[in-house]
Structure 1
Amino acid sequence: MESVAFRPGGLNRYFAALCKEFERMPDWDTRVIRWSDHVTVKRAGVVGTAKRVVFYLRKGLDDRSEIVDSHFSFYGLAYILGRSLSGRKSGYTFISHFHGPWYAESRIAKPRRLNSFKFKRLIEKFVYSRSTIIVVLSEFFRDYLVEHFGVEGEKIHILKPGVDTEWFFYREFDKPRLSATNLLAVRRLDARMGLDVAIRALPHMDPSATLTIAGDGRERGSLEGLVSELGLMGRVHFAGKVSDRQLVTLYQTHDATVVPSIALEGFGMVVLESLSCGTPVVASRLGGLVEALEEFDSSLLVDPGSPEALASRISAVVASGAPTRESCRAFALSHEWSSVAKNHSDLYRASRDG
């Protein structure tokens, strides 16, 4: 994996938070293996990929851990091969965290690379078949594994993610908020994130409503073109990559966070982060987002792909003041990482002792 500073995103943030909690547990000797801890420059293309494969292959050759938890199938494959070449291919428990179908996400982002999708799917299927346990963040991804990879349901365990409520904190404001509606989207700029839907929702809202998009990605150019086409240059701001500290401030100072995904959303950690800062979330009724929000307030879910539905729901939330910032924060407090890590610890121990 990579650090959040090296490559921002929900997967790396999840990985970092879980590792942080395990390093606090005295009964676990935790070894964290991250590619970004050994490089200073992001390397792209064939050479960079080969270097990563060799890195994790060598870790597999040298490692003697009893329990191994992989969070990305490609790196997991290299580790498994290294462990096999070392002559220690048995005697350890291999666990996979399924954060989403690598091949399917790539197919949406780069639809012309058919052979690449097939290759990625083969890698995923092999790694999941070699996994003793697979951890998913939602029922949606459990069902996806069963249907698309043929994984036996009994080896899949649902452990929902948590949120660092100390870092993503709620604060009262001394001054009243601006009368304009300020919306925030914290997303990688990929097609499946539905950011075009959020942009298209603005013309259906009060003319003073604005949207800040935090994140970068291959779709930035097309999204900027859409903003220009709709004449929204003064209402949509592309913040690009932001630091963790900036992210907290963005959550705290906006009226609502939008998560308009249109495909393959396993949970959406931004939901808990925003709620922890006291900011309500309006999201697509899709995949794990349903599970993330339904137990809090199902009215915050809208049909995916509909700018009109998104605009209507956002306007209602902001106008009514419901849910309140206090209730958002209270819900997030029931999803702290300490309890999530305890659930993982119990699962790891059962896999080792069982």
Structure 2
Amino acid sequence: MAAKTLRTLQLGNDWFGERQGGLNRVYSELLRYLPGAGVEVRGLVAGSPKVSVSTNGVVTGFAPAKAPLQKRLLAARKAGIDALRHGHFDLIASHFALYTLPIVDKLSRTPTVIHFHGPWAAEAGVEGQSSLGSRVQAAMENAVYRRGRRLIVLSEAFKRELVRRYRVPEERVRLVPGGIDSTRFHDQFTRAEARERLGWPVDRPTVLAVRRQVRRMGLENLIDATAEVRKRVPEIMVMLAGAGPILGELKERIAAAGLENNIRQLGRVEDEDLPLAYRAADVSIVPTQALEGFGMITLESLASGTPVLVTPVGGLPEVIRPFAPDCVLADTATGTIAEALGAFLSGARALPSSDACRAYAVKNFDWPVIAAKTRQVYEEALA
């Protein structure tokens, strides 16, 4: 007998087709694959009218992402109430506290599952937001999270955050990692072919870091480490993919160290070009210093057949250690990053093979697998 279709209202942040980000990517991919697991979805996000057109009405943008905050919140409440009045949903799934808060008074009437994508207030604090702003964000999060019958986290690290920081009872938390579109990220080209298509040097040992250029991502340490690695591997080429508020500072740091021939800032890489960029690298690196709950880029790299080195921050080791423990660095220090890059690029330490990387990612993190696990948590919330 076929399982009952679950009807869900999915409250997101921004739409990935209009604004990038890990939360937005997970949300859009999950909505794409949940129907295959018997979960009907309707989504509400901050976005333009084009969102509804591009998703055939499955996801609606209630207000532009850059609209004034008050307008967005009022629009989120109106859209949420309208959806609940006419949608006959079995369950609400919240992915972002800010846009769930406007209908928090309605959550007691419909079973709710919270997808916890990260400590919003804490991340803002790390990036320099005022303590008052962080406290307001934390209050919003607490108001929403305590309504969840179940809370889904991407990693054990985020589970600890929920229990410690937000006092969520541990028995209500379930771990469902992020997923990967294995058909999109695929090693269909050789590294040389990928580099030629991108205009990258073909014959140099190449490291890729796909990171938003903000403080906690550890890019300053990576730049400093590259100066050390160059003594051992003179031809090292580090590609920094991403944009952000410290892009200019990083450029100055690269110049001050005389690394213009060893580090290239690519800026924002278009989403359709990311699989090729991963494939072109000998190794990816995630040098995060703080607050990394999962790290989707680790899966993207592995599915593209490219091994990835990670610092032991948040959920990063949980993804990599079962597969390649040597690729989890001992700490976040510049010297540790330099030693690892030098050893792997010089051949002193072996990297996992391309086939092994992809097989691990597909077996454990392909989106249909993750969607089925998500449905199981939804069913728990309805029991």
- Equivalence for 1:53: 73
Q: Deviations over 1:208-262 (max 9, x none)?
A: 1111111111121221121122111222222222222211110010111110000
Residue of structure 2 aligned with 1:231, choices 245, 253, 258 = 258
Q: Structure 1 residues 248 and 174, CA, compared in 2 at 3 Å: closer, same or farther?
A: closer
- Shift of residue 174, structure 1, vs aligned partner: 8.2
- Shift of residue 42, structure 1, vs aligned partner: 6.3
Contact 1:94 1:133 (8 Å CA) reproduced: yes
Question: What is the DSSP-based 3-state SS (H/G/I as helix, E as strand, rest coil) of the residue aligned with 2:47?
Answer: helix
Residue of structure 2 aligned with 1:268, choices 292, 295, 309 = 295
Q: Structure 1 residues 310 and 10, CA, compared in 2 at 3 Å: closer, same or farther?
A: same
Q: Structure 1 residues 79 and 189, CA, compared in 2 at 3 Å: closer, same or farther?
A: farther
Percentage identity across aligned positions? 29
- Shift of residue 268, structure 1, vs aligned partner: 0.4
- Shift of residue 29, structure 1, vs aligned partner: 2.4
- Equivalence for 2:49: 38
- Shift of residue 102, structure 1, vs aligned partner: 0.7
- Equivalence for 2:108: 90
Unaligned runs of 5+ in 2: 1-12, 52-62, 196-201
* 1:305 pairs with 2:332: yes
- Shift of residue 300, structure 1, vs aligned partner: 0.5
Unaligned runs of 5+ in 1: 84-88
- Shift of residue 321, structure 1, vs aligned partner: 4.6
Residue of structure 2 aligned with 1:325, choices 340, 348, 354 = 354
Higher mean alpha-carbon deviation, 48-57 vs 207-216, is at 48-57
- Shift of residue 54, structure 1, vs aligned partner: 1.8
In the alignment, the residues of structure 1 paired with residue 156 and residue 252 of structure 2 have an alpha-carbon distance, to the nearest angstrom, of 36
* 1:219 pairs with 2:243: no
* 1:350 pairs with 2:380: yes
In the alignment, the residues of structure 1 paired with residue 367 and residue 143 of structure 2 have an alpha-carbon distance, to the nearest angstrom, of 30
Q: TM-score, normalised by structure 1?
A: 0.91
- Equivalence for 1:278: 305
Q: Structure 1 residues 203 and 325, CA, compared in 2 at 3 Å: closer, same or farther?
A: same
Question: What is the DSSP-based 3-state SS (H/G/I as helix, E as strand, rest coil) of the residue aligned with 2:324?
Answer: helix
The within-5 A match list for 1:46-125 is 47-64=67-84, 65-81=89-105, 83=106, 89-111=107-129, 113-125=130-142
Question: What is the DSSP-based 3-state SS (H/G/I as helix, E as strand, rest coil) of the residue aligned with 2:108?
Answer: coil
- Shift of residue 103, structure 1, vs aligned partner: 0.7
- Equivalence for 2:26: 14
In the alignment, the residues of structure 2 paired with residue 28 and residue 263 of structure 1 have an alpha-carbon distance, to the nearest angstrom, of 34
* 1:290 pairs with 2:338: no
- Shift of residue 49, structure 1, vs aligned partner: 1.9
Higher mean alpha-carbon deviation, 169-178 vs 13-22, is at 169-178
- Shift of residue 79, structure 1, vs aligned partner: 3.0
In the alignment, the residues of structure 2 paired with residue 145 and residue 272 of structure 1 have an alpha-carbon distance, to the nearest angstrom, of 23
In the alignment, the residues of structure 2 paired with residue 150 and residue 344 of structure 1 have an alpha-carbon distance, to the nearest angstrom, of 23
Aligned partner of 1:106: which letter? A
Residue of structure 1 aligned with 2:36, choices 16, 24, 33 = 24
In the alignment, the residues of structure 1 paired with residue 48 and residue 378 of structure 2 have an alpha-carbon distance, to the nearest angstrom, of 25
Residue of structure 1 aligned with 2:157, choices 132, 140, 143 = 140
For the aligned residues, what is the CA RMSD?
2.0
- Equivalence for 1:86: none
In the alignment, the residues of structure 1 paired with residue 252 and residue 273 of structure 2 have an alpha-carbon distance, to the nearest angstrom, of 26
In the alignment, the residues of structure 1 paired with residue 82 and residue 65 of structure 2 have an alpha-carbon distance, to the nearest angstrom, of 24
In the alignment, the residues of structure 2 paired with residue 96 and residue 332 of structure 1 have an alpha-carbon distance, to the nearest angstrom, of 25
In the alignment, the residues of structure 1 paired with residue 293 and residue 356 of structure 2 have an alpha-carbon distance, to the nearest angstrom, of 24
* 1:209 pairs with 2:220: no
In the alignment, the residues of structure 2 paired with residue 323 and residue 255 of structure 1 have an alpha-carbon distance, to the nearest angstrom, of 11
Question: What is the DSSP-based 3-state SS (H/G/I as helix, E as strand, rest coil) of the residue aligned with 2:378?
Answer: helix
Higher mean alpha-carbon deviation, 152-161 vs 47-56, is at 47-56
Contact 1:68 1:92 (8 Å CA) reproduced: yes
Q: Structure 1 residues 181 and 303, CA, compared in 2 at 3 Å: closer, same or farther?
A: same
Aligned partner of 1:331: which letter? Y
- Equivalence for 2:59: none
Question: What is the DSSP-based 3-state SS (H/G/I as helix, E as strand, rest coil) of the residue aligned with 1:34?
Answer: strand
In the alignment, the residues of structure 1 paired with residue 272 and residue 361 of structure 2 have an alpha-carbon distance, to the nearest angstrom, of 19
Q: Structure 1 residues 29 and 305, CA, compared in 2 at 3 Å: closer, same or farther?
A: closer
Contact 2:113 2:381 (8 Å CA) reproduced: no
Q: Deviations over 1:35-66 (max 9, x none)?
A: 2243799654xx53223212211122112222
Aligned partner of 1:98: which letter? F
- Shift of residue 140, structure 1, vs aligned partner: 0.8
In the alignment, the residues of structure 2 paired with residue 291 and residue 105 of structure 1 have an alpha-carbon distance, to the nearest angstrom, of 20
Q: TM-score, normalised by structure 2?
A: 0.85
In the alignment, the residues of structure 1 paired with residue 83 and residue 141 of structure 2 have an alpha-carbon distance, to the nearest angstrom, of 22
Q: Deviations over 1:57-104 (max 9, x none)?
A: 1122112222111111111112324x3xxxxx5331111111111111
In the alignment, the residues of structure 2 paired with residue 68 and residue 217 of structure 1 have an alpha-carbon distance, to the nearest angstrom, of 33
- Equivalence for 1:2: 14
Higher mean alpha-carbon deviation, 189-198 vs 320-329, is at 320-329
- Equivalence for 2:205: 181
